Amino acid sequence: MTFIVPNSSAKLECVEFREKNPRTQYARLVLGPVAPGQGVTLGNTFRRLLLNDLPGVAITAAKLNDARTEFVTLPGIRESVVEIFLNLRDIVFFNTFPDVLAPQGTITIDPSVHEGPTDAGEGFELSTSPRVICAGDMQLPEGVYCVDPTQPIATLMNAHTPFHLSFILEQATGYRVWKKPTQPYGRGFYPPRQTAAPQMEQVKSGLFQPIDGNFMPVRTVNFKVHDGPPHGEYIHFEITTNGSIHPHAAFKHAGAILTEITRATLQEPRPLVGMDEVSQPADVPNNQMAYFETIAIEQLELSLRAYNCLKRAQILTLADLSRESYQSLLALRNFGQKSAEEVAKALETYGIELVQET
């Protein structure tokens, strides 16, 4: 099927840029002209992508000297462990890995103090004189840098205070809050919706204390839609970043993510019902079948009669239903033509058709 897509003359222009400090970059961008009515749609879309989908690097766990919990103070250090961990959370990093569209995995910092740096890098400082420990004192893995080396971490009060900080870096998106598990499995915490990773064992064992991960390189996004000559709308974006990425580059990154998402709309894995092509039965891919296994028939909102008949026949999931034919459903006890039509209509919302036996 051929689609008619109007030509777009929209352009993106950076009309203002200011850098207040290394961790605050502001820019005003103008996108347009776009068709009337599209300004708010595109503005909201880009705002969500900029705030939620751009990756960043953050510290997600740390160990300070021999502290077994964050709710303590250490001799010779002005700040409490909680204050130091909050300072670590606010440190802004950027990396030079080439594949910036996908998380790079976990970077584990070697906690050894005396063996020297390893291939993965080492994150510790040992001080014997009064000083302020800053982000620039960190020994980071190759390719990872601090945006503002002057960001303070802790203050040592005397010349004999040792300071040993080990930490774990990760790259992800959004803001991740560490929570206690619903059913505890030993010491430590776990990140929600995150599978176990090698460094998680160190957190669960109590060697490292978890820290909320702030991976968001974009701090604020505002937009306004203005009518422009001769026709169309112009979207004015105001973007503030933490200095790890230029606002203009952040917007282009969001556009690349949006392009990748919308690319799927141009693919037709199977003929569409009601169009020129006639819908033909097709085998359900394995990955789609695995998804159907997770959907219970309760989500189809069937009538009580049809639901009870399927339950008695041990047809419990969408995957079970996809294997049934029209005739096999009619063969169920108390399952009539009306119930079969109801099930078939409910399955259409998932792109499933009952097999017709010949």
Average pLDDT, the chain: 77
Q: For residue 357, is it within any domain?
A: no
- 100/205 same-domain check: yes
Indicate whether 77 pLDDT > 90. no
State the burial class of residue 28 (Cβ atoms within 10 Å of its Cβ: 0-12, 13-18, 19+): middle
pLDDT at 204: 58
| pLDDT tier for residue 49 given thresholds of 50, 70 and 90 | very high
- Of the listed ranges 141-150, 193-202, 215-224, the one predicted with least confidence: 193-202
Looking at the DSSP bridge assignments, the partners of residue 59 are 169
Which of 224, 59, 206, 83 lies closest to 138, judged by CA? 59
HEC states along the chain?
A: CCCCCCCCCCEEEEEEEEEEECCEEEEEEEEEEECCCHHHHHHHHHHHHHHHCCEEEEEEEEEECCCCCCCCECCCECCEHHHHHHHHHHCCEEECCCCCCCCCCEEECECCCCCCCCCCCECCCCCCCCEEEEHHHCCCCCCEEECCCCCEEEEECCCCCCCCEEEEEEEEECEECCECCCCCCCCCCECCCCCCCHHHHHHHCCCCEECCEECCCEEEEEEEEEECCCCCEEEEEEEEECCCCCHHHHHHHHHHHHHHHHHHHHCCCCCCCCCCCCCCCCCCCHHHHHHHCCCEHHHHCCCHHHHHHHHHCCCCEHHHHHCCEHHHHHCCCCCCHHHHHHHHHHHHCCCCCCECCC
| pLDDT tier for residue 5 given thresholds of 50, 70 and 90 | low
The residues, ordered by sequence, that sit 6+ positions from 57 with a Cβ below 8 Å of its Cβ are 93, 94, 95, 144, 169, 170, 171, 215, 244
- 45/62 same-domain check: no
Cα separation, 90 vs 152, whole angstroms: 10
Q: For residue 355, is it within any domain?
A: no
- 208/110 same-domain check: yes
- 242/331 same-domain check: no
Residue type, 333: R
Q: For residue 279, is it within any domain?
A: no
pLDDT at 333: 82
Indicate whether 272 pLDDT > 50. no
Indicate whether 144 pLDDT > 50. yes
How many percent of the chain have pLDDT more than 90? 27
Q: For residue 249, is it within any domain?
A: yes
Tens digit of each residue's pLDDT (9 = 90 or more) over 275-316:
444 343 344 455 666 777 778 888 788 888 888 888 888 888
Cα separation, 268 vs 270, whole angstroms: 5
- 127/145 same-domain check: yes
Residue type, 152: P
pLDDT at 200: 57
Cα separation, 301 vs 307, whole angstroms: 8
Q: For residue 252, is it within any domain?
A: yes
Q: Are 34 and 226 in contact (CB under 8 A)?
A: no
Tens digit of each residue's pLDDT (9 = 90 or more) over 150-177:
999 998 887 777 888 888 888 888 998 8
Gyration radius of the chain's alpha carbons: 28
- Of the listed ranges 125-129, 211-215, 227-231, 338-342, the one predicted with least confidence: 125-129
Q: Are 167 and 109 in contact (CB under 8 A)?
A: yes
Indicate whether 102 pLDDT > 60. no
Highest-confidence range of 116-120, 217-221, 307-311, 330-334, by mean pLDDT? 217-221
Cα separation, 238 vs 247, whole angstroms: 9
Indicate whether 183 pLDDT > 60. no
Q: Which residue has the higher pLDDT, 123 or 109?
A: 123
Q: For residue 229, is it within any domain?
A: yes
Which of 244, 222, 225, 240 lies closest to 93, judged by CA? 244
The structural domain count of the chain equals: 3
Q: Looking up tokens 């606002």, which residue turns up?
A: 247
181 backbone φψ class: left, alpha, beta (φ>0; ψ -120 to 50)? beta
- 207/136 same-domain check: yes
Looking at the DSSP bridge assignments, the partners of residue 145 are 94
- 204/120 same-domain check: yes
| Mean pLDDT score, 192-202 | 48
| Mean pLDDT score, 199-213 | 70
- 195/296 same-domain check: no
- 94/209 same-domain check: yes
Which range of residues forms the domain containing residue 258? Answer: 11-53+218-266
| Mean pLDDT score, 319-347 | 84
Q: Which residue has the higher pLDDT, 281 or 207?
A: 207
pLDDT at 263: 83
Q: For residue 353, is it within any domain?
A: no
Q: For residue 77, is it within any domain?
A: yes
Cα separation, 255 vs 266, whole angstroms: 17
Sheet holding 24-34, edge to edge: 11-21, 24-34, 233-241, 218-227
- 200/312 same-domain check: no
- 91/151 same-domain check: yes
Cα separation, 67 vs 132, whole angstroms: 20
Q: Are 27 and 248 in contact (CB under 8 A)?
A: yes
Indicate whether 7 pLDDT > 80. no
- 81/181 same-domain check: yes
Q: Which residue has the higher pLDDT, 74 or 6?
A: 74
CATH number for the domain harbouring residue 134: 2.170.120.12
